Structure 1
Amino acid sequence: MSRPAGVDHPGVVAPPPLIYGVPLLVGMVAHFSGAGLDFGLPLRLRLLLGLPALAAGIVPIALALLRFRRAGTSPEPWKPSTALVVDGVYRLTRNPMYLGMALVYAGVALLFDCALTAALLLPAVLTIHYGVIRREERYLTGKFGDAYRDFMRKSRRWL
């Protein structure tokens, strides 16, 4: 996909927090209005599963944001990338923020026992994968060339 001259961003379909936030909100509204499906999990199990997922999601997001700040580049994929961030949490995954958002989402769905909300995570992750990550990869390959291709070989897309 070629970009018009002067366009220096990946052209993602929507901001990732919105891609995760809309289905999360829809699922939670359905849940609290009585229309959502429940897992039927006891509170202790919901806490045992949901809290670690929530925490496991917050950590990579925070670490990634710190790396972007240190590199002096924007974490928002609708803005130009001025530096390639490949260290820290990025050694484990090329997309720690999107992985973290998915884990936070899953944690919320588990904590509130929302099966419908959990089911809506799949379309969100697919949208992130095809509408954000793949576009970012093309953009970053074009912008940073061999340095980004090398990073792609060393770090997995998700985990």
Structure 2
Amino acid sequence: MTSDDAPTDRGPAVPFPPPLLFVGGVAMGVLLDLVLPLPAVIPDARWVVIVGLALVIVGLGCMFAGILTFKKFRTAVYPNRPALLVVDTGIYAYTRNPMYAGLTMAYLGGVLLTGVLWVGILLPVVLTLLVTQVIRREERHLHERFPDAYAAYCARVGRWC
């Protein structure tokens, strides 16, 4: 853990909870499916259900592990406040974004379980918005607030895994 004096900045100033991007992707995909349904291409097979459930379970596990680790060190989970420190232990020793990686896995698992292809087609849009509107703001904030510690952390740990 690397800490600093009490924050004086506004943090990453992300104006919305990042999971809303994933919820929005699902909602838009379901609406598109109602208006313009696509043919089913995901096989109706037991292995698809098993893989889908595994992705949802592992994804939600990663997300909650990230949340619990942030709560343990009393730093902001919702990126609208300044970070108090660079969290680099627990699941953060393996990925800089376990919550977002977990949400992505769960989202993909949901696509397999429901077969709603529009939701899957919209995932690149969701991830592009996540990177441009959330992750870049968070990374800029951490680089400004903890330049040496965050640079060293980025050199050790990848963004997604």
User: TM-score over 0.5 for the alignment?
Assistant: yes
2:123 is matched with which residue: 112, 121, 125? Answer: 121
Q: Any unmatched runs of 5+ in structure 2?
A: 1-7
**Residue of 83, 89, 92 corresponding to 1:90:** 92
The amino acid that maps onto 2:93 is R
TM-score by length of 1: 0.88
Partner of 2:148: 146
SS at match of 2:125: helix
- Give the Å deviation of 1:132: 1.1
Superposed displacement of residue 79, structure 1: 1.8
AA in 1 matched with 2:27: L
Q: CA–CA distance in 1 between the matches of 2:108 and 2:41?
A: 13
Residue range with higher mean Cα deviation, 11-20 or 142-151: 11-20
Report the alpha carbon displacement of residue 24 of structure 1 after superposing the two structures with TM: 0.8
Distance 1:10 1:82, change over 3 A: same
Matched-pair contact (CA < 8 Å) for 2:15–2:80? no
Q: Does residue 45 of structure 2 align to residue 78 of structure 1? A: no
- Report deviation, 1:13: 5.7
CA contact (8 A) 2:59 2:103 kept: yes
Counterpart AA for 1:54: V
Q: 1:40 to 1:158 in 2, by over 3 A?
A: closer
Distance 1:135 1:44 in 2: 41
Matched, 1:11 2:10: no
Taking every aligned residue pair, what percent have the same amino acid on both sides?
31
State the 1:27 CA deviation: 1.2
- Greater shift after overlay, 9-18 or 100-109? 9-18
Equivalent residues in 2 for 1:22-61, closer than 5 Å = 22-31=24-33, 33=34, 35-37=36-38, 38-61=40-63
The size of the alignment, in residue pairs, is 153
Partner letter of residue 35 of structure 1?
L
Mapped partners of 2:29, 2:69: distance in 1: 32
Post-superposition shift, 1:59? 1.1
